[in-house]
Amino acid sequence: MKTQKRIENCLCSPSFASAAQGQNLVTGNVSVIEGETATISCRVKNNDDSVIQLLNPNRQTIYFRDVRPLKDSRFQLVNFSDNELRVSLSNVTLSDEGRYVCQLYTDPPQEAYADITVLVPPGNPIIESREDVVSEGNETEITCTAMGSKPASTIMWMKGDQILQGEETVEETYDRMFTVTSRLRLTVSKEDDGVAVICIIDHPAVKDFQAQKYLEVQYKPEVQIVVGFPEGPTREGENLELTCKAKGKPQPHQINWFKVDDDVPSHAVITGSDLFIENLNKSYNGTYRCVASNLVGEAYDDYILYVYDSRADGGPQKIDHAVIGGVVAVVVFAMLCLLIILGRYFARHKGTYFTHEAKGAEDAADADTAIINAEGGHNNTDDKKEYYI
pLDDT band at 5; cut points 50, 70, 90: very low
Residues 6+ apart with CB under 8 A from 283: none
Q: Taking a C-beta distance cutoff of 8 angstroms, is the pair 175, 138 a contact?
A: no
Give DSSP secondary structure letters for 118-163: EEB-----EEEES-SSEETT-EEEEEEEEEEEBS--EEEEEETTEE
Helix (H, G, I), strand (E, B) or coil at 306: coil
Q: Identify the pLDDT of residue 60.
A: 95
Tell me which of 104 and 310 has the higher pLDDT: 104
Residues 6+ apart with CB under 8 A from 148: 120, 122, 123, 173, 177, 178, 179
| Average pLDDT over every residue of 193-212 | 94
Q: How far is CA 9 from CA 13, 31, 61, 117, 348, in A?
A: 6, 12, 27, 11, 117
pLDDT band at 160; cut points 50, 70, 90: confident
Geometric angle at alpha carbon 359, from 355 and 362, rounded to 5°: 115
| Average pLDDT over every residue of 216-243 | 93
Phi-psi region at 160: left, alpha or beta (left = phi > 0; alpha = psi -120 to 50): left
> What is the phi/psi pair of residue 78, to 5°?
-95, -45
Kindly report the average pLDDT of the chain as a whole number: 84
Q: Is the pLDDT of residue 69 over 70?
A: yes
Strand partners, 196: 214
Helix (H, G, I), strand (E, B) or coil at 337: helix
Q: Identify the pLDDT of residue 154.
A: 95
Burial class (CB in 10 A: 0-12, 13-18, 19+), 311: middle
Residues 6+ apart with CB under 8 A from 88: 37, 38, 39, 40, 75, 76, 78
> What is the phi/psi pair of residue 374, to 5°?
-70, -40
Q: Out of 45-59, 216-230, 272-286, 309-323, pick the least confident.
A: 309-323
Q: Identify the pLDDT of residue 367.
A: 53
Q: Is the pLDDT of residue 77 over 80?
A: yes
Q: Is the pLDDT of residue 141 over 90?
A: yes
What is the separation of C-alpha 280 from the centre of its chain, rounded to a whole number of angstroms? Answer: 47
Q: Identify the pLDDT of residue 363.
A: 58
Q: What is the pTM assigned to this prediction?
A: 0.63
pLDDT band at 11; cut points 50, 70, 90: very low
Give DSSP secondary structure letters for 29-46: -EEEETTS-EEEEEEESS
Q: Is the pLDDT of residue 162 over 50?
A: yes
**Is the Cα dihedral 9, 12, 15, 19 positive or negative?**
negative
User: How far is residue 243's CA from residue 276's CA, in Å, rounded to a whole number?
Assistant: 9
Q: Is the pLDDT of residue 16 over 70?
A: no
**Tens of pLDDT along 334-357?**
888 888 888 877 777 665 544 444
pLDDT band at 59; cut points 50, 70, 90: very high
Q: Is the pLDDT of residue 157 over 70?
A: yes
Burial class (CB in 10 A: 0-12, 13-18, 19+), 25: buried
Q: Taking a C-beta distance cutoff of 8 angstroms, is the pair 243, 273 a contact?
A: yes
Q: Is the pLDDT of residue 381 over 90?
A: no
Q: Out of 21-25, 54-58, 191-195, 216-220, pick the least confident.
A: 21-25
**Tens of pLDDT along 88-121?**
999 999 999 999 999 998 888 899 999 999 999 9
Residues 6+ apart with CB under 8 A from 109: 103
Sequence letter at residue 123: G
Q: Taking a C-beta distance cutoff of 8 angstroms, is the pair 7, 152 a contact?
A: no
Q: Identify the pLDDT of residue 147.
A: 94
> What is the phi/psi pair of residue 189, to 5°?
-125, 175
pLDDT band at 372; cut points 50, 70, 90: low
Strand partners, 302: 289
pLDDT band at 23; cut points 50, 70, 90: very low
